[in-house]
Structure 1
Amino acid sequence: MVDYRNYIVWQKSHRLVIDIYKTTASFPKSEQFNFTSQINRAALSIPINIVEGCGRETQKELVRFLYISSGSAHELEYLIQAATELNFIDSNESLKLLSEVAEIKKMLYALIQTIKKQL
């Protein structure tokens, strides 16, 4: 087992969750149970799966959960793009969030590759 707090990718994805929640707070109330919920869940899924993977017994299981985190990062990227086109997110905020997601995706990929080499 690994302490998830030691992973910079977890730290960055946790920060992203906070940023996403602050951003979605201004989404239309009519989207509270639809778009807002979906984008918040996608963001939360990234650090949650890192945490769950770190709690597993093998590195192989950790890699599986890192792949799930990566999938959620890809999903979140699309949701941010769609929210921007729907004018739920300001374009400057969107660029900032998309940059954070891109960095997290790269970090997850690198971590997965590093762990896979050790298997």
Structure 2
Amino acid sequence: MGTFRDLLIWQKAMALVTKVYTITKTFPKEELFGLTSQIRRSSISIPSNIAEDYGRGSNTELLRFSNIAVASLFELQTQIEIAYNIEYLSGQEFKVLYDDTRELEIMIISFSNKIKERK
């Protein structure tokens, strides 16, 4: 058995964090402690919870942390839509981030369903 780093969902979540940080560098400085911070925290929470989830070992804990990761993902989807609506994100930036979050959402939910089947 490998580590959480071997999980494709963790790898994709880490790539998403990198994109989020790169894109939010262009946000207005007055948003540093507002929307920028919220978006970054939400994105960081996703791979962090996947890693914590993997380290717990029990199916119950795996499901709990997978659910937290999905909740953070939904929070991120909402925040990037807000950023798009107030024109902090271009249409292309929004599409890239949103598509990545949707792909990760499907993957995490699939992972959770596999855990449920093992119970």
TM-score per shorter chain, which class? Answer: over 0.9
For 2:30 and 2:2, the matched residues in 1 are separated by: 41
The 3-state SS of whatever aligns with 2:33 is coil
Pair 1:30 & 2:30 matched? yes
Let me know the Cα RMSD of the aligned residues.
1.1
Q: Percent identity?
A: 36
Paired amino acid for 1:16: L
The match for 2:57 is 57
The match for 1:117 is 117
Give CA deviations for 1:64-110 in whole Å, capped at 9, x if unaligned: 10000000011100101100011111110110110000000000110
For 2:115 and 2:6, the matched residues in 1 are separated by: 15
For 1:46 and 1:79, the matched residues in 2 are separated by: 14
Q: What TM-score, normalized by structure 1, do the two folds share? A: 0.96
**Moved runs in structure 1, 4+ residues, more than 2 A?**
none
Provide structure 1 residue ranges, at least 5 long, that are not aligned to the other structure.
none
For 2:57 and 2:84, the matched residues in 1 are separated by: 40
CA-CA distance at 1:57 after TM superposition:
3.3
The match for 2:76 is 76
For 2:57 and 2:87, the matched residues in 1 are separated by: 44
For 2:95 and 2:81, the matched residues in 1 are separated by: 9
Paired amino acid for 1:5: R
For 1:11 and 1:77, the matched residues in 2 are separated by: 19
Pair 1:7 & 2:30 matched? no
The 3-state SS of whatever aligns with 1:55 is helix
